Homo-oligomer: A and B are copies of this chain.
Amino acid sequence: MLDLLIKNTAIITMAGSGVGLIPRGNIGIRGNLIEVVSDADHHMANQQAHRVIDGTNKVVLPGLIDAHIHTGIALLRGLAQDTDHWMQKALWPFAEALTPEGEMAGSLVNIIEGVKAGTTTFGDYDSSMANLLHNHDQVGTRARVAETINELPDEMKDLEVGELYPLDAAEGQSKLQSALDLFKQWHGHDNGRITCMFGPQGPDMVSKELLLEIKELATKYDTQIHMHVAQGDREIDQMTKRYGQRSISWLEELGLLDTRLLAVHLTEATDEETRLLAQRGSAMILCSGSIGIIDGIIPPAAQFLAAGGKLALGSDQAPGNNCSNMFNEMKFTAILNKCKAVDPRVFPAWKMLRLATIEGARAIGLGDQIGSLEPGKKADMIIVNLDSPALCPTIMAPVRNIVPNLVYSASGSEVETSIVDGRIIMESHKLINVDEKQAMASAREAAQTLAYRARPGKNNIAIQMMEKEQL
């Protein structure tokens, strides 16, 4: 007996080298696993299920993977963009006013936002991950997370742009201990729905010694190192000032460039550095919306893919993207890279869907578990309502348009149902395990308090823009 059967539905399995589309089929789930994916009615004649969903005018596809997201700073949505020196001038003045409660409240709304737009797996990355995981645990999302490890002292706001950050080894050890505690408490939680990685914030924010210690630990725990790499001119500036080397050659020298490295951004990586990373088997996470808004840069994803690298997509954060919507990321990534190459043929729709599902899953080390709809894989999937103007018309023969429509036209609001590890966590576009209204009300209240606590002065860029009636 199946637990759930979705009948008469289009299925984008993402099996094989393309999208593996089944125009009309059935998909059956038992426990947390996919048991059957069938392309014809008669195969299912003897299948009984506790619950049956009619998939007419719907399409089932693997849940989307947001491989890099900082849900902990979501309360700052809309407070940091349209400026140079984003981190120092726009993010930090508000980030340092965040409380653990504010982080939790913002994170919950950010997770809800992602689920409502089709994300089932979150590569969450923060310095209070032990708290934030309670949100993922509650909502029912798959999370592959990292506790931020750096050696930065708490007070960074007084630093001038371009000044070398002080690194504090004791601070680093304390944060490493938090990361180890996170592993103890959460790694493998709920049947492996929640897993941990190590998260050194960047080669500029962690000493050589700590990086090498983390490398050993990643081997011991058999997990990945999720790290910002070449994420901006700020980082490269710090690296050359501190070590006289750029980020990627430094990591190569330290032996960090291997299959455990999950390198985020590569904003400032040269083509040669990018190829080296791919050749070493490291994976890359591309955050197109975020890096476009923060830096005005299109990272070298094309070069990374051309060198055979494993690529995933991420939404990064609410203050500087400003949304966590993987449909958005797919479309952006395609258009930005078409414009970078001045070639409309590159980054086609089917490839974008692969990056947000099966190829993203492989990049974050979960390719054997999720990312495609095949018997034996974990049941992470979304049901999209095709009876939506932006996805209309759907044509199934003699040509098809469903994949381009999902990638280039869906807004995310068409996602009706979300299933993670065999459990329905959203139905009729409403989350099952959390009170959305209450979550938003809490976030609004926490944000209001934060905004006053931050006390932005006349030098604050947001205040200056307000005075010019630009906000």
Contacts and interface: CB of A to CB of B under 8 A. Distances in A.
B451 A397 contact: yes
Interface in A10-58: 16-21
Contact of A395 (B19, B341, B447, B468): B447
Interface in A61-101: 75, 77-79, 81-84, 86
Interface string A119-137: 0000000000000000000
A82 B390 CA distance: 19
A44 B336 CA distance: 48
A52 to B, nearest CB: 23
A411 B408 contact: no
A444 interface: yes
A234 B448 CA distance: 53
B293 A395 contact: no
B293 A344 contact: yes
A60 B456 CA distance: 27
A190 B404 CA distance: 38
Contacts of A460: 399
Contacts of A411: 117, 323, 325, 328, 411-413
A86 B340 CA distance: 18
Interface stretch (A180-188, A303-311, A345-353): A345-353
Interface stretch (A243-251, A294-302, A360-368): A294-302
Given A82-B349, A86-B344, A440 B109 contact: no
A231 to B, nearest CB: 14
A3 interface: no
Contacts of A288: 335
Given A84-B344, A451-B399, A460-B399, A409 B339 contact: no
- Name the residue among A109, A340, A395 with the largest chain B CB count within 10 angstroms: A395
A338 interface: yes
Contact of A79 (B295, B321, B401): B401
Interface in A270-300: 288-289, 292-298
A195 B443 CA distance: 45
A334 interface: yes
Contact of A402 (B78, B117, B437): B78
A322 B409 contact: yes
B443 A400 contact: no
B77 A393 contact: yes
Nearest to A429: B413
Contacts of A318: 409
Contacts of A321: 408-409
A394 interface: yes
Chain A, interface size: which category?
35 or more
B350 A387 contact: no
Nearest to A76: B401
A468 B75 CA distance: 44
A233 B446 CA distance: 53
A387 B293 contact: no
Given A444-B393, A451-B397, A471 B344 contact: no
Which of A19, A334, A471 has the most C-beta atoms of chain B within 10 angstroms of its own C-beta?
Answer: A471
A392 interface: yes
Given A19-B469, A78-B408, A296-B338, A109 B389 contact: yes
Interface in A213-253: none
B294 A470 contact: no
A469 to B, nearest CB: 3
B296 A78 contact: no
A293 B471 contact: no
A39 to B, nearest CB: 13
Interface in A102-118: 106, 109-110, 112-113, 116-117
Given A292-B338, A456-B399, A323 B81 contact: no
B345 A82 contact: yes
Contacts of A387: 437, 440
A463 interface: yes
A346 B293 CA distance: 10
Given A83-B344, A335-B336, A336-B336, A466 B390 contact: no
A456 B335 CA distance: 26
A112 B391 CA distance: 12
14 contacts: A82-B349, A84-B345, A117-B390, A117-B411, A288-B335, A289-B335, A296-B346, A324-B390, A325-B390, A336-B339, A387-B437, A387-B440, A399-B471, A400-B471
